[in-house]
Amino acid sequence: MLTHISCLFPEILAIIFSYLDVKDKGRVAQVCAAWRDASYHKSVWRGVEAKLHLRRANPSLFPSLQTRGIKKVQILSLRRSLSYVIQGMPHIESLNLCGCFNLTDNGLGHAFVQDIPSLRVLNLSLCKQITDSSLGRIAQYLKNLEVLELGGCSNITNTGLLLIAWGLHRLKSLNLRSCRHVSDVGIGHLSGMTRSAAEGCLSLEKLTLQDCQKLTDLSLKHVSKGLNKLKVLNLSFCGGISDAGMIHLSHMTHLCSLNLRSCDNISDTGIMHLAMGSLQLSGLDVSFCDKIGDQSLAYIAQGLYQLKSLSLCSCHISDDGINRMVRQMHELKTLNIGQCVRITDKGLELIADHLSQLTGIDLYGCTRITKRGLERITQLPCLKVLNLGLWQMTESERVR
């Protein structure tokens, strides 16, 4: 006997609807009253982030979101007061304001006027009018915040970091990308290493300091001493750090991922310091560090052999360096050696012979490799991703 879908219990319909994408969840609510009721079950919308344009008053908007149990919101354009959102969703857990260029300290100040204990994630990336004043509000009223994104907020200073260190003790992830005024003093505040009254954000597990040009090795000393739980550290484009700073990082036993991309003062000596410490890194990126050469690969094989991901794009490495590394790297799954123009088929053959767990390799711009080397690479049993941009067959290979 056949059963029509209209005979299904609302609970069963809700389970089915939960597998739909967001647009289709909204469409099924328009089919009939029974489907509408089932589609409003909170299990259908679990984990969904509402993407909103706040332009004109809509009295039914926030009651509708609350009925569905939606607690994550991204504001795509902000033409109304931010307090409209906070008042409408008192149990909000995640608020994404990335790219809301017209958001000001005044607007944020009017929104955050009392404790919001439910809010865990706040994204203010590219909100360029935000200053330390807003961070004071955040530190005062968002005590349970775990993720704070401030990438591109170029008016943030060390004072703002002091306020964060004072109030946000549960913070686990902080993004300060391109916060150009941040210096060693600010990182000292975060790490609880200055003489200020701030305890610091000692629960931090992820810290992004990309393109913070005022940072020096002293910041790394603060981080290594104060942020013992740190797992992910992004220092890409930080031109002020050097090999000496790697000595401080080399003893951070919880650190899993380190990004040193385009750090011009990092050389083979810095990699030696990392390899000689007690690190258990699973990911390392030293792409575009033009002082990194074959000797670094030997150090990596000796002390960082547990790496699962290694990026060496545009480094001065050769087949000899590959030969010195591959025999020890049994866990390596991703290898990025794009624009390493000294790599030839011999290097690819070494990779194919020894890196059997490799799932992805970037060979973009490796102009000295040929079809012979590529044939060996494609025989890797686990390979799923192969980037060959700017690679061209020679005329003789086309003939064959």
Please write the tens of the pLDDT for every residue from 237-252.
999 999 999 999 999 9
pLDDT of residue 3 exceeding 70: no
| Burial state string for 109-123 with b = 16 or more CB within 10 A and e = fewer than 16 | eebbeeebeebbbbb
**Which of these, 157, 143, 252, lies nearest to 199 by C-alpha position?**
143
pLDDT at 58: 74
Q: How confident is the model over 73-84, as a mean pLDDT?
A: 86
What 8-state DSSP symbol labels residue 265? T
Q: Is 399 a residue whose pLDDT tops 50?
A: no
Closest by CA position to 190, among listed 170, 210, 167, 164: 164
Q: Where in the chain is the domain with CATH 3.80.10.10?
A: 48-241, 249-399
**Residue with more model confidence, 147 or 83:** 147
Over 60: is that where the pLDDT of 169 sits?
yes
Residue 327 has pLDDT above 60, yes or no: yes
The DSSP line for 16-34 is HHTTS-HHHHHHHTTT-HH
What local confidence, expressed as pLDDT, does residue 393 receive? 43
pLDDT at 24 over 90: no
pLDDT for 87: 87
Could you give phi then psi for residue 217, rounded to 5 degrees?
-65, -20
Closest CA to 312 of 336, 283, 293: 336
Question: Helix or strand or coil: residue 395?
Answer: helix
Return the pLDDT at 6: 67
Average pLDDT in the 89-115 region?
93
Architecture label for domain 1-46: Up-down Bundle (1.20)
SS3 of 49, please?
strand
Residues 6 or more apart whose Cβ sits within 8 Å of residue 21: none
Beta strands 334-336 and 360-362 are parallel
Query: Which CATH architecture does the domain made up of 48-241 adopt?
Result: Alpha-Beta Horseshoe (3.80)
Q: How confident is the model at residue 207 (pLDDT cuts 50, 70, 90)?
A: very high
Top mean pLDDT of 22-36, 300-314, 380-394 is at 300-314
Concatenated DSSP letters of 282-313: SEEE-TT-TB-BHHHHHHHHHH-TT-SEEE-T
pLDDT of amino acid 198: 76
Higher-confidence residue: 303 or 65? 303
State the Cα torsion 97-103-106-109 to the nearest 10°: 0
d(CA 125, CA 96): 9
Cα–Cα dist 179/142, whole Å: 21
The H helix count followed by the E strand count for the chain is 17, 14
Task: Take residue 62 and report the two structure tokens written for it.
Answer: 């926030």
Question: CA 304 to CA 311: how far, in whole Å?
Answer: 13
Most confident of 52-61, 190-199, 333-342: 333-342
53 in Cβ contact with 27 (< 8 Å): no
How does the average pLDDT of the chain come out, rounded? 90
Residue 202 CA: distances (Å) to CA of 206, 229, 345: 11, 7, 48
- Exposure pattern of 142-164 as b/e (b: 16+ CB <10 Å)? beebbebbbbbbbbbbbbbbbbb
Q: Interior CA angle at 56 toward 65 and 114, to 5°?
A: 60
- Say if residue 276's pLDDT is above 90: yes
Q: In what helix (H) or strand (E) does residue 334 lie, and over which residues does it extend?
A: strand 334-336
Tokens of residue 399, six digits: 């003939």
- The fold of 249-399 is 3.80.10
pLDDT (average), residues 366-387 = 94
Considering the entire predicted model, what is its pTM? Answer: 0.90
pLDDT in tens, 109-146: 999 999 999 999 999 999 999 999 999 999 999 999 99
- Looking at per-residue pLDDT, the higher value among 352 and 398 belongs to 352
Which one has a higher pLDDT value, 82 or 265?
Answer: 265
**CATH 1.20.1280 boundaries in the chain:** 1-46
